Chain A
């Protein structure tokens, strides 16, 4: 079982719709969860992090965490073509400061 799993996609949504990206993790000791956006040819950019169960909102982005189900998600409201990128889920593992990344979900927002 992979430590951090994501559907590779591509996930296609129309402009203005809500994009829902999902991630599951295996280490129950993980405390912090991150979403990175990576445009083609660029380095990952941190867009959200969450450490408590529930929702955390920042602009059009909402991160959701359910530690009992070992599940974290990212919702993007009013999706724009500029949101088209690969979204990487990362989890701190091993009780320390290391991050383990999922393989990423490619999001395509279509006009």
Chain B
């Protein structure tokens, strides 16, 4: 499996501001994903980060709120824009390393608190 890092590991932000979360992988991967895990909840897919093209967003998530970049096969960013307390959550990136079985491996996560 790949080694995945995320920055920052946690942050406390004021409402109305934006935070960019970075995800770095130690090897080239085809698929990268961004998830949100709200307190006590399971994981919800925000979007698939596509290298060299626009991200593919899931229902309920829009690019203006969660812009994503994927400049190469080892790096992606997720920005949480114009934050509100409802955005307080853990944000996780994951990578898919197999095209056959679709398994995904997760980064350590970014714990975001919006005040």
Contacts and interface: CB of A to CB of B under 8 A. Distances in A.
Interface of A: 31-32, 34, 36, 42-46, 49, 51, 88, 90, 92, 96-104
A98 B45 contact: yes
Which residue among A42, A96, A98, A104 has the maximum number of chain B CB atoms within 10 Å of its CB? A98
Contacts of B43: 44, 88, 101
21 contacts: A31-B101, A31-B102, A32-B101, A32-B102, A42-B108, A43-B106, A43-B107, A44-B106, A45-B106, A46-B1, A46-B104, A88-B42, A88-B43, A97-B48, A97-B96, A97-B99, A97-B102, A98-B48, A100-B45, A102-B42, A104-B42
B9 to A, nearest CB: 11
A23 B109 CA distance: 25
A49 B1 CA distance: 14
Interface of B: 1, 31, 33, 41-45, 48, 90, 92, 96, 99, 101-109
Contacts, number: 51
Given A32-B101, A43-B92, A46-B104, A97 B42 contact: no
Which residue among B99, B103, B105 has the maximum number of chain A CB atoms within 10 Å of its CB? B103
Contacts of B31: 97
Contacts of B104: 34, 46, 90, 99
Nearest to A51: B101
Contacts of B99: 97
